[in-house]
Each structure stands twice: as structure tokens, then as C-alpha cells.
Chain A
Amino acid sequence: MSAEAIRIAGRRPTRRLFVHQLRSEQLVFWRSREAAFFIFLFPLLLYVLLASVYSGKIYGVPPAEALLAGLVGYGCANTAFAGLAIQLVIRRENGILKRLRSTPLPPATYVGALLISTLIVFALQTIVLFGIGRAFYSTPFPSDIGSLVATIVIGAAAFAALGTATASVIRSAEGSSAVVNFILLPMAFLTGSFGPTRHYPAFLRAIGDVLPLKYFIELVNAVYLHGQGFWTQPGALAVLGAWGVAGLAFTAFKFRWEPHGS
């Protein structure tokens, strides 16, 4: 076999496996009504609900616009952090991850397809969110699509790293949803997903100030509400990056493929 032939033979199966696994992940996700509802639909419903009750201005813009940015943030944490963590724990504890490791599917291909599948769900959700805002509340579309795409990818990556890290510390499938939502919901409230936090007590705001979702929402606000490029927010990018790297490092150190108690 020539070097070229070896290279093609070596690459093709990986790409085929990746596409196959990505399609499988999408099938598994959309077929599960619980996942499709709580991960995909729930943030959309929350948006419709919250945009209907707020009036006046938030951050100097109509509430439907500010809440749209907040719900993109919540959607990101809900999909890439909470959804991914719960799915991973259930799959690990049910032995699916262990079972897959005995097949020729490389672990890196599996993880890659799962992350891209999660990103697809979050990106679709964001598109539908902007569509709902436009249709019901006349919110504008983002002016800088490129920056918004970059923001979404950066946010999804950081929260996915935190999701895998969280999956590494949860020991049972039954408890996974409770633990994850115990983190997610307070974080969303404290960081302004569901409305501004400036009237909160100082200590609650101080907690919010260290959480990654606050900085992701800042990034979305800058890009969507103020029409700025994502690179104009180095502070927010740095904090998100730090959380992401910490999550990744913790995952690399602690993640296991096999169920507990086996």
C-alpha cells in the first residue's frame, strides 16, 4: 500500500464513524421525549413566559431583547452543562459507555460526536429562540452573526467541559438530575438569565460574579444587545476560558467509563 493509500484508509473510517455516531446521537436525543422537552423546549417556554411578564426596559433595551440574551445563556448551560452531564451519568451507570468501549469506535470519536451533537441542539435552540423573539416580540436578529456563532461555540465548549466534570463526580443515575439542577437553577437566577440581578442582595450578586454563566451572558449581551464583536470582551472570555480549562482538567483526572459499583 502506498503512503497515500494508507493515509486515506486511515482517515476514511474515522470520518465515517464520526458521521455515523453523530447521526446516532441525534437519533437518541430527539427520540427521548424527556430530553427533547427539558433540554430543547423548556428554555423556549421560559422565554415566552418571561418576555410576557416583564415591561419597561432592561439594560436600556426592551425586555424581550434582554431576556432573549439571558435565555440563550440559560439554554447554553441547560444543554451543554446540565443535559450533557445527566446524559453522561446515565450512560455510564447503565453500562453503555463501557459497552461502547469494546467496539471499534474510538473514544475520541465518541466524545467528539457527542459534543458536536450537543452543539447542534444548542445552536438549533438559539435559532428558534431568535425566531420566537422576532415573531412574537419583534426583537431584531443579531447584527454580527459571525460573533454570535463564535460566542455560542465558546460558551458550549466551556459548559460542556463543566458538564463532563460534573458527570465525573455524580455517582448514580437516579441522583444526576437533582444534583445538576441544584447547580443550574441557582446559577441561572444569580447570573441574570431570567432578568437583571442589580436589586439582589450584595452577597448573592457576589456569588453570581464568580459563576461562568454571568460571563457568557455578558458576552451574548455585548454581541446581541450592543452589536459588539465577541473579542471586545477579553475579561468575560478569560473567565469562561478558565472555567472551561478547569472543567477539562478535572474531567481528564476524574472521568471514568465504567459504572460505579461494578
Chain B
Amino acid sequence: MHAIEVSGLRKAYGNLEAVRGVDFTIEEGEVFGLLGPNGAGKTTTVEILEGYRRRDAGEVRVLGSDPERPEPDFRERIGVVLQQSQLWPNLTVRETHAIFAGYYRAPRNVEEAIALVGLQDKANARVKTLSGGQKRRLDLGIALVGDPDLVFLDEPTTGFDPQARRAAWDMIRSLRALGKTVLLTTHYLDEAEQLSDRVAVLREGQIVRVGTPAELTTTDLQTEIRYRQDGEEVLVRTDEPTRVLAELTSAAVARGEELEGLQVRRPSLEEVYLALTAEADAAEVEP
């Protein structure tokens, strides 16, 4: 069964169309990345799936429920990390987990949840004494303490230093190991590339591409071959890197030369992403 099915989803705020016909499905156990710049409609989409907002049009199924009229156990089965939220500053990490655990019929053990997000050493610390990264881990801990099947992570690492981001990534990878379905929104391209089984690129309320990170990077842009010749940088973009490279290198070998600084690069997801958004810009100009 699909964990999430979305088709023809639309949502407007007044005159602003935040989501303009979005379709995608997420399989059980999949980590799905929703990638896009600020204002692309990521949070609106996710908040419709979480049941916070009503849609204007389209079909939505989340764990078999319509989030606007959820089955009784819908909220038992989802875990939510909001983009911004603070908790009670004077409670400890353990107390905060225990409060949230109490909302669920079959919660995970509190100590286990705390360990899962690596806060064992901070279990007795007041929330107000935690660092930004630790607070974010607490957000994740209380989202997992109900032992959900599906976890929504809305920009989970925004504002993190590189080390904290690596730690958060490891945690998100461990969710996949636990068999959870994860819907991740991010505007960090490397994050989507690192964590997601599949990525949907969202721009101005529409999905411009869906696929695995590898698919996105192989199908869209040409491979770049760079080298230096007579002190000048040469750049070749090609759809046939094997043939072009063979020609270049055999010619160089025949001349008895070294191709200085030879590099073969597949475009990064970032470049694909920028190209996709540029495409969308161009498309808009056309009548």
C-alpha cells in the first residue's frame, strides 16, 4: 500500500496560489524529499497532509485516511516535526518525552526514544539549557516517542552547523532502518540528495521533476569534462562522455601529452535543480 497518495492538490491563500496541482505517491518505508526554494509550497503541501490545512481541490490519502476526516488512529500513526516550535523551557528532556508519550496508546519507551535521538546525556537537562541542535533533536524525539509509521520532517536542519547536520542526517537514516516512511522537506539540495530515496522538486506550487537523486542527475544535464591546455581551461559538455573522453585521451596519448587537471563531472543535484528552476522561468515567459 502507498503511505501517501496525492493527486491534483491545490491550495490558494487569497489570490496567491501556493499549491497548483501537485501529484505524487510515497511508498511505505520510503524516504521522500520535497525540495524547493522558500515559497515553493513545500510547507503548505506537508501541512495539508498532516491535517493542519484544508485543500481547495485534489485527492489526498495519508495512511489510508483523508487528513481532513482522519480515521480515529490517524494521529497515533504520524509523527510531526514542525519547521518552528518551542517546548516548555523549564521541563527536562525526559519529562517532555514522557508528556508526549502519554498521548499515545502504544508509545515507544521514553528512554529508548531519548537514546534514539542521542540525548541520553541530556535526559535530566532543562529544555532551555539545550543548544539549537539539541532542541531540534528533542523535536524529533517527541515525534518518534509515539512510535509512528510515518514521520513528517519540515526543514529539520535549518540553522544547523555542519556537524549538527551530519548528526541529524544519521538520525534520519536510522528512521529508514526502523522501516519508517519519511516525508522530508528541505531547501538544502545536498540534504535531499544524501537522505532521500526519491526527490520531488517543487517550484511555484508545481512539481517540476520527480525521481531518485541519481535519475535526476543523469537525465537532465550534460556531463562536464574539464582540462587545461596551454594554460587555458577547456570545458566540454556532452551527452556522450565515454566517446568524447576516449577521443580526447587517445589524441593526447598519441601526442605524448598529459591532459592537465583532467576532471569528469556529473552535474550535482544543485545544478540540476538550478537548471530546472531556470527552465520554469523560461517557460513562464512564453505565451
Contacts and interface: CB of A to CB of B under 8 A. Distances in A.
**Bind each other:** yes
A172 interface: no
Contacts of B146: 103-104
Nearest to A259: B84
A75 to B, nearest CB: 23
A20 B104 CA distance: 11
A232 interface: no
B90 to A, nearest CB: 4
A24 interface: yes
Interface string A247-261: 000000000001100
Contact of B80 (A27, A96, A99): A99
A94 B85 contact: yes
A205 interface: no
A101 B70 CA distance: 13
Contact of B103 (A94, A98, A104, A259): A104
A95 B91 contact: no
Given A102-B51, A102-B75, A27 B85 contact: no
A54 B75 CA distance: 57
A17 B102 contact: yes
Interface residues of B, number: 26
Interface string A19-53: 01100100110011100000000000000000000
Contact of A95 (B84, B89, B99): B84
Interface string B47-78: 00011100000000000000000000101101
A13 interface: yes
A32 B90 contact: yes
Interface in A95-117: 95-96, 98-99, 101-105
Nearest to B51: A102
Interface residues of A, number: 23
Interface string B82-121: 1111111111000100011011110000000000000000
A24 B102 contact: yes
B52 A103 contact: no
A104 B263 CA distance: 54
A27 B96 CA distance: 10
B18 to A, nearest CB: 13
Contacts of A105: 103
Contacts of A259: 84
Interface string B31-53: 00000000000000000001110
Contacts of A21: 102
Given A27-B91, A103-B100, A103-B146, A96 B86 contact: yes
Given A20-B99, A96-B85, 15 more contacts: A21-B102, A27-B91, A28-B90, A33-B90, A94-B87, A95-B85, A98-B52, A98-B85, A103-B75, A103-B103, A104-B104, A104-B146, A258-B52, A262-B83, A262-B84
18 contacts: A13-B105, A20-B102, A21-B102, A24-B99, A24-B102, A31-B88, A96-B86, A98-B52, A98-B82, A99-B80, A99-B87, A101-B52, A104-B103, A104-B104, A104-B105, A104-B146, A258-B52, A262-B83
Interface of B: 50-52, 73, 75-76, 78, 80, 82-91, 95, 99-100, 102-105, 146
Interface of A: 13, 17, 20-21, 24, 27-28, 31-33, 94-96, 98-99, 101-105, 258-259, 262
